Structures are given as C-alpha cells and as structure tokens.
Chains A and B, each alone.
Chain A
Amino acid sequence: MEAHVEVRNLNVYYGYDQALKNINLQIPKRQITVIMGPSGCGKTTLLKSLNRFLELEDLARLDGEVLIDGENIYAPQMDVTEIRKKTGLLAQRPHPLPMSIYDNVAYGLRIHRMCKKGHQLDAKVQHYLEEAGLWGEVKDRLHAPASGLSIGQQQRLCLARGLAVEPEILLGDEPTSALDPISAQHIEKRLQALKNEYTIVLVTHILRQAKRLADYVIFMYLGELIEFGPAAQVFEQPQQEKTRAYLEGQF
C-alpha cells in the first residue's frame, strides 16, 4: 500500500474538550478509505484536519502532523490555498455558489488561472460536468442559476466544481446524507469511477454504504482510532471488540 496521506500524533481540542486523541494512520493512494463510527466520535473532525478546515472553527486547536505527499500541511511555510486546491471537498449538503451552473465549475479554474483561453474553459467545464455525471442534464441551461437545480444535481455540480481545480484527494463528509436514494446512488457510482484517479476519503455513518464503497476502513470511537485496515479484514474479521460491536449494531 502506497500512502498518500499520513497522520502523525494528531490531537484536536475544541476549547477544553479533546476531539481527537493521538491519531496515527495512513491513507492509501487511489483507494476509497471510509471513516466510520458513531456520532461524535471525531469522524468529521479528522476529515476537516486533512484540508485545514479546522482552523475556520473558532475554538479548535490542533497539534501533530498531517502529511500529504510527505509534506506536513501544518508547516508554517505551507500555503493553505494550495492545500485546499489539492484536496477537494464534498460537504454534507451541496452549497452551490451564487452564480450560473457554468460559472460554478469555472470559478476554481478562474481563481487559480488554470485556463488561458476562453474555449479551453468551455471544454474543461464540459469535461468536469461529464466526470460528475451532470452534463447531459444541464448542457442546455449552463447559464441558468445553479440554485435552480435539484439537491442531487447540486451535489454533482459541487463534485464537478471540486474536480475542476484538479485535486489529488477527494474528501466526502457524508456527501449523500441529504440526498434521495437515487441521487445518493448516483454519487456513489461517480466516486467508484473516480477512485482510479483520486484518493478518496469518505465519512459515513451508513454501514451499508461503507461496505459498498470501502477499500480501507478507519473505525473511530470517542476520538480514538480503534481499528484501521483493508475493508475485507475489518468487516469480516475485526480485531477489536468495539469494532465488532459497532458492526453488529450495538451503538
């Protein structure tokens, strides 16, 4: 297994509460790693520490290291915008930007000056909308407001928007939890297709979804990393009593 992300001695505090306790783990390249565990176990906190989103919270404090491609993203000389460009995020609910469908995808390309010419921009927007499985539904109304799309379509738009800045890692924070079953299935299919090119880290509390998607599994409980390993191993032969109990639905 080739590690893409490595977490070393990570502790996170919100005020006086410790949300993550000495986490050490490695996230493999171009695989889907699923973080699971009961509510309040620190899944989302762990995810947010991977794109330095924690520092947007007022009371959050962090020590330890998170290495992406061997570089500590919390080192002082690191540019936070570069880190976030490298790590796309799919939030729980889609939040399209207040602009047209086209401009939503073009936004990242423009701020990072990734396109020199206009027609290149058109081609890239189309490409990423296709990648996200949305092109067919929106190709005739690219300049309509993004807020007019259904929630499921909005989430795919957010996926296209995230892919457009050419990240290496995709973070998903329960990206299907606000969606209807069909839209959720759509997103899951896209993620499976995308794992050949991207390292995907997914937070979910839906056990079936974890089983459908995971190559690797991180199981967390009350801020601690309980178990980490290949999906088959964790699901079939969990090493820890707590993992077994969770898989059996005890909490």
Chain B
Amino acid sequence: MKRRHVEEGIMKLLMLFSYTLLIAGLGLVLLTVLVKGLPALNLAMVTQVPKGGYYLGKEGGILNAILGSLYLAAGGTLLALVFSLPISLYLQAYVRRSPWAGYVRLTLDVMWGIPSIVYGAFGFIVLLAMGMRASLLGGILVLALLELPIMTRAMDEVIRMMPTDLEKASFALGSTRLETALKVVTRQMLPGIITAILLAFGRGIGDAASVLFVAGYTDRIPTSLFRPVASLPLAVFFQLGTPFPEVQQRAYAAALLLTLIILATSLGARWLAGRLGKFTIR
C-alpha cells in the first residue's frame, strides 16, 4: 500500500476515535442520569412542591424548581434578546468592520469569558446596594447578563454570513437600512437567530452559580418578581449534598428533568428553524 493511503487510513481512524469518544461521553452522562434518576421520577416530582421533611426523604416534588428554572431562563433569555438583536443588527447594518465593531465584539468576548459565579457575586452586591433581596427579578437580570454575550456573538456570526448582495437587492428597491435589517436580514437569519436564542437559553437554564446568590432558593412557587425562586441546577446541588440516598436519587431525577427540558427546547427550536428556513437563500 502506498504511504499516502496509510496516512489517510490513520487520519480516518483518529477521527473515528474522537467521534466515538464524544458519543460515548454523551451516552455515559445520559445513562447515569437515566439509571439513577428514573426510579425516583414520579408524578409527585413534577406536580408538587417540597413538603415538610422532603430533604430528609419524605413526600413532595420539585415543581418549585422546575417552574423557577423556566421563569428564570425564559425571563433572562427574553431580556437578553431585547438587547442582543439590536446590537447584532447594529454591528451588521451600520458599523461592520470599523474599529467600533471591533471594540463591541471584544467587549462581548470578554463578557463571555467571565465565570458565571462572578456575575452572581456582582449581581448580589448590586442587589444589596439597592436594598433588594434574592429574587426572581435579580435572577433574571443576572441570567440576562450571562446570556447576552453568548446570544449576541452567536447572532453576530450568523448575521455576518449574510450575503451582502441580498442587502443590495433590498437597497436597490429603495428600502432604508432599517427596513433591510428588519425585513430581509432578520428573515434570512431567522433559523440562525433561533439557534442563538436556544444556545443562550440552554446556558441560562443550566447555570447554577449565577443564580446561587441572586435568586435564592425556596420551596414555594414565586408569586411575584420580588420573591426568591428555586431552580433545577440548585435543586440538583442541594439534594445531592444530603446524606440520604433517596434524596440523592431525587437529585438525579431533577437532573434528568433538566436534561429533558433542554432536549425538548433544542428539538423544538430545530423543528421551528427548519420550517422558517424554507425561505432562506443559500
């Protein structure tokens, strides 16, 4: 056999190896969560809040954490979207490759690199200074801050792939930059934008450190933005920290639920992006 064929064979094996490792990792994580969590999963888990002695192994569920996480992540994602879509469209439509765009992107990249516990601590100090307590609102604000750079940079990359000729086609018809950004760029980019939103949502709902101080934890379902709120990552954390095996098992059930929520959002978004991508120009 020739040398070049041997080289190619080795490369192929390497790629196969890495891929197998990746899949195996994912499989093992899912398997652990399933095997350990599934026995503890029952209707009460998803329909009830913790009752007295829940953390000692008595009755109740984690509806407080499920709803809390959904409130937090949905609120944070929505708030982040309100800022990141205009920022990314501005980068594309007005500043492009100017130094300004570079500074904005650098800022976002730095923000992306900040560990979430730092956001949490920062948010906590701000809350204290404002005389507020750990609350749903605080959690939403910090999550928005955490998600903003991820969402904006993901959107920015998507929007940068926008063919400029498409914009010119819109300009040629006498549309303004704003109309072009809203009606043409956004449409072309919609599938990518949805993916960016989902990416941020996934990061937000799975993050424990940022909400640790600012959202608090409670056994109740929050009734207002100013009440503390529970979250699934923290539910996993607290339950896993107890010395009781049955409570630890519930931690895996909570992890399983969190995984399922992210999986469902991911699949839903894919389906939506596929439908909306019908009109995309390739």
Contact = CB atoms under 8 A, between A and B. Distances in A.
A239 B212 CA distance: 84
Interface string B122-166: 000000000000000000000000000000000000000001011
Interface string B164-199: 011011111111100100011001100000000000
A83 B176 CA distance: 12
A191 interface: no
A51 B172 contact: yes
A84 B173 CA distance: 6
Interface of A: 51, 53, 56, 81-86, 88-89, 91, 93, 95-100, 107-108, 111-112, 145-147, 158, 161-162, 165
A146 B170 CA distance: 15
Given A95-B165, A97-B184, 7 more contacts: A53-B168, A56-B168, A98-B184, A108-B173, A147-B279, A161-B173, A165-B174
A111 B175 contact: yes
A165 B170 CA distance: 12
24 contacts: A53-B171, A56-B171, A81-B174, A81-B176, A85-B174, A86-B174, A88-B172, A95-B281, A96-B169, A96-B281, A97-B170, A97-B187, A98-B166, A98-B184, A98-B188, A98-B281, A99-B187, A99-B279, A107-B173, A108-B173, A111-B179, A145-B278, A147-B281, A161-B173
Nearest to A99: B279
Nearest to A52: B171
Contact of A111 (B183, B280, B281): B183
Interface of B: 163, 165-166, 168-176, 179, 183-184, 187-188, 278-282
A89 B175 CA distance: 13
Contacts of A162: 172-173
A87 to B, nearest CB: 8
Nearest to A85: B174
A82 B171 CA distance: 11
Contacts of B163: 95
A50 to B, nearest CB: 11
A107 B279 contact: no
Contacts of A107: 170, 173, 175, 183
A97 B169 contact: yes
Contacts of A98: 166, 184, 187-188, 279-281
Contacts of A88: 172-173
Contact of B173 (A56, A96, A111): A111
Nearest to B175: A111
Nearest to A112: B174
Contacts of B172: 51, 53, 84, 88-89, 91, 162
A207 to B, nearest CB: 27
B173 A165 contact: yes
A53 B184 CA distance: 18
Minimum-distance CB pairs A-B, first 4: A85-B174, A89-B172, A95-B169, A98-B188
Nearest to A90: B172
Contacts of A86: 174
A17 B84 CA distance: 39
Given A53-B168, A93-B165, A111-B179, A100 B173 contact: no
Nearest to B173: A108
A124 B267 CA distance: 40
A112 B170 CA distance: 12
A95 B280 contact: no
Contacts of B282: 147
Contacts of B168: 53, 56, 91, 95
A151 B59 CA distance: 66
B169 to A, nearest CB: 4
B161 to A, nearest CB: 13
Contacts of A95: 163, 165-166, 168-169, 281
A147 B280 CA distance: 8
B281 A91 contact: no
B245 to A, nearest CB: 55
Given A81-B175, A108-B174, A111-B175, A145 B279 contact: yes
A230 to B, nearest CB: 29
Contacts of A84: 171-174
A107 to B, nearest CB: 7
A84 B166 CA distance: 15
B91 to A, nearest CB: 16
Contacts of A108: 173-175
Contacts of B179: 111
Given A98-B166, A100-B279, A111 B174 contact: yes
B278 to A, nearest CB: 5
A85 B174 CA distance: 5
B166 A97 contact: yes
